[in-house]
Amino acid sequence: MAKQQMTKAQLVTAMSEAAGTDKKTAGAALDALVAIITSEVSAGGAVTLPGVGKIYCRERPERMVRNPATGEQIKKDSDKVVKMTIAKALKDSVNG
């Protein structure tokens, strides 16, 4: 059903062909984009990629979880989780 996942090398190659640049420049651009998104979301902000979606961080409250091996209830501290909301344009293109 699903196609094979695109690797970073394949993504860099596709980016270099689409932009008409060499792979080194495309790789540097991809690494810079990842670094910017990481620093912004780590600081509590959000990044919107037009046509793709919005990447943001939210805090999960303290909660009780169950150890699947023993069935024991354990209190888990609050933590942060990275979320992504997919853009409507991308959803529409996938669904038809």
- The answer to pTM > 0.85 is no
Tens digits of residue pLDDT in 28-54: 999 999 999 999 999 999 999 999 999
Is the predicted pLDDT of residue 1 greater than 80, yes or no?
no
The pLDDT value recorded for residue 68 is: 92
Let me know: does 12 contact 31? Beta carbons within 8 Å. no
Let me know: does 12 contact 23? Beta carbons within 8 Å. yes
Residues found in the chain:
96
Domains of the chain are: 1-43 (no CATH), 47-96 (4.10.520.10)
Let me know: does 37 contact 56? Beta carbons within 8 Å. no
